[in-house]
Homo-oligomer: A and B are copies of this chain.
Amino acid sequence: MVRRVTLREVAQEAQVSVATASLVLNNKPSRISQPTQQRIRDVARRLHYVVNENARGLVTNETRLIALIVPDIENMFFASLSKCLETECRRNGYQLFISNSDDDRTLERRLMRNFVGRDIDGLLLIPSIDSYTDRALLRDQICASPCPIVIIDRLITADICDGVGFDNELGGRLAAKKLLCAGHRRFACITGNKDSVNANTRCYGFLKTLQEHEVPADSILTLDGNYRFSGGYDAADAVADFGATCLFCCNDLMALGAIDRFRELGIAIPADISIIGYDNIVKRFGLLTRLTTVEQNVSELASQSWQCLYRHIQHHDSGRNCAEANDLLLLEPQLVEGDTVAQAPIFR
């Protein structure tokens, strides 16, 4: 370990002023003689000089720092998103700092404050669940933020700031249509956590579509899930008892759980029961089950979110957060065909 070298030291060693050294090392258009340039660069390399970005940021008024706050980095969806966003940022010369809010609103607040303290150029935020139910706090903080903010995935209506996410209702609809087309007439649906707006919207789209196709309410079983493997596993018996010929799960993990239980019960998939999941996490995790599922294109989400934020940064956008007219971009999910959906038994 070694003391940190400053620009002044490089300048001294190269027998020039700091200004000259700065000009050269930043490749600024100037008419410094070639020999001098070379000398400065050589010294800088020899001394392992690295510019102090904080000091630089102080004067240039931009840190080229972007922060990302995710509720849970252990969640594969957020982990993938982080990776994609990091790539986007890097491509544009920004550095991304990832942080974890543990889905805790207090921590989220603290992180945001910390990041503002670090003078970030922009914030990508996936809000905690709590911030859904009580938006006031978050809203205030966003309005008081000195940097642009884009909300991702968990969209909290457009009156706060710009947001990019998926059309969850459409996702539910796609699942419903697929099953209806396959001739199913008796449905089951496992929801996510109670307060997960996204999961609820998926369900809503699913049920709405069934209703529009005049499926009677008593042919539909809705069960509370927990977004986890056990949620699907535990619900499977009820689904079977109900005599459903198909099942829509608000995420893949629950679908896997249900499949596991069905297998134990000797129920064949898709022969006896068809299953659709959500997320296509199965593929990402490297499992081999070819689950029919609704996929959300994570890299598109990342790309769009970044572009949205970047626009604001470039326009030096000092008045968009909390404006009346904010952009809300809804990306379309896609149904991915696997091996877990078949024609309804009665039609065969």
Chain A residues near B (Cβ < 8 Å): 1-4, 48, 50-55, 57-58, 63, 65, 73-74, 76, 79-80, 82-83, 86, 95-100, 102, 113-114, 116-119, 143-149, 228-230, 233, 253, 256-257, 260, 284-288, 317-322
Contact = CB atoms under 8 A, between A and B. Distances in A.
Contact of A53 (B48, B119, B288): B119
A73 B285 CA distance: 13
Given A86-B99, A96-B99, A97-B98, A287 B229 contact: yes
> What's the number of copies of this chain in the assembled complex?
2
Contact of A100 (B82, B145, B319): B82
Contacts of A53: 114, 117-119
A253 B286 CA distance: 8
B50 A54 contact: no
A86 B100 contact: yes
A30 B113 CA distance: 26
Contact of A52 (B2, B73, B117, B256): B117
A96 B285 CA distance: 26
Given A1-B148, A260-B288, A82 B73 contact: yes
A74 B76 contact: yes
Interface centre among A82, A149, A319, A321 (most CB of B within 10 A): A82
A80 B74 contact: yes
A61 to B, nearest CB: 9
